[in-house]
Amino acid sequence: MTTHQTRAAAVADALREAILNGQYLSGERLIEVKIAQGLDVSQNTVRDALRILEHEGWVDKNPRHGVYVRSFSVEDAEEICALIGTLETMALRWVIEHLDKTTRADLHALIARTRRLAYAGERGQAFDALLRFHERIGVAAQKRQTTQFLETLFNQIRLLEAVREARSPRTARELDEQIARHDALLKLIDEEDVEAACAAVRALNVAYSR
């Protein structure tokens, strides 16, 4: 990776974090020159960083009007969750058919991390740990395109969650309920109950759209 590519990746990281923290809101325009001045980098570096974020699903580019933080309608959110439900169900079938000790340990570790973060009152990080649980399923399926599609879709879930947090933050009780549902899903995965586990995943993704 060249120095320019490294700088662009670093700027993309900074912008991604700013979006998740609510510094840039859904639907807000990202102005290259202001970002370049604020981060003391060139506009070309910012432009390449925005391309990275566009590829990952964080922003939309309008050729005539610039780049905007991606925004979603209710129908968009429902479609995203339906797509995740379909793809993750496929991934989960492949994972359970070839479940190994490393994948099992990683999934348990992510749920344990979620509990620790929830106990510490870090609800945003706890929710992200739950998403990483689902991303781990996508990676473990070892299907390149499925993994890539799921990664983009889960980034969009992160954006939806950032919007939700700005408007009506999740309560500790809601997070506890999510953790309990994931505990139940993990048990089904451990038992290699494919049909029940797939049904649980679909139910979880419906819940994300609410």
What confidence score (pLDDT) does residue 164 get? 78
What confidence score (pLDDT) does residue 171 get? 85
pTM of the model: 0.82
Confidence of residue 3 (pLDDT cuts 50, 70, 90): low
The lowest-confidence range among 13-22, 103-112, 137-146 is: 13-22
Cβ atoms of residues 11 and 144 within 8 Å: no
Answer whether residue 178 shows pLDDT above 60.
yes
9: three-class secondary structure by DSSP: helix
Confidence of residue 161 (pLDDT cuts 50, 70, 90): confident
Answer whether residue 37 shows pLDDT above 90.
yes
What confidence score (pLDDT) does residue 73 get? 86
Answer whether residue 182 shows pLDDT above 60.
yes
Answer whether residue 22 shows pLDDT above 90.
no
CA distance 139 to 175: 24
Count of CA atoms in the C-beta half-sphere (13 A) of 176:
6
CA distance 104 to 37: 46
Alpha-carbon 36 to chain mean position? 26
Task: Identify which of 17-31, 68-82, 177-191 has the greatest average pLDDT.
Answer: 177-191
CA distance 81 to 8: 30
DSSP string, 32-44: HHHHHHHHT--HH
Please name the helix (run of DSSP H) or strand (run of DSSP E) that holds residue 61, with its range, or none.
strand 59-62
What confidence score (pLDDT) does residue 74 get? 86
What confidence score (pLDDT) does residue 2 get? 66
pLDDT tens for residues 52-89?
999 888 999 887 789 999 888 889 888 998 999 999 99
Q: Residue 124 burial (CB < 10 Å; 0-12/13-18/19+)? A: middle
